[in-house]
Amino acid sequence: MYKLSIVVASAVLISTCTLAAPQGFNQSVSGGPQGFDNLAPNTVAGVIRQAYDDQVVTLKGRLTNFLGDDRYEFTDEAGDRIEVELDDDMNWSNISRNQLITIVGEVDKDTFSTTIEVIQATPAQ
**CA distances in angstroms from 68 to 43, 44, 117, listed in the order given:** 24, 21, 15
Buried-exposed string 94-107: b where 16+ CB fall within 10 A, e elsewhere: ebeeeeebbbebbb
Chain centroid offset of residue 115 CA? 13
Handedness of CA 25, 26, 30, 32 (dihedral sign): positive
- Domains, the chain, ranges and CATH? 1-39 (no CATH), 44-123 (2.40.50.200)
| pTM, full prediction | 0.69
Alpha helices of 21-98 — where are they, by DSSP H? 44-50
pLDDT at 79: 96
Note down pLDDT in tens along the chain; length 125 residues. 666 666 566 655 555 544 444 544 444 445 556 555 557 899 999 999 999 999 999 999 999 999 999 999 999 999 999 999 999 889 999 999 999 999 999 999 999 999 999 999 999 97
CA pair distance 84, 90, nearest whole angstrom:
14
Average pLDDT in the chain: 82
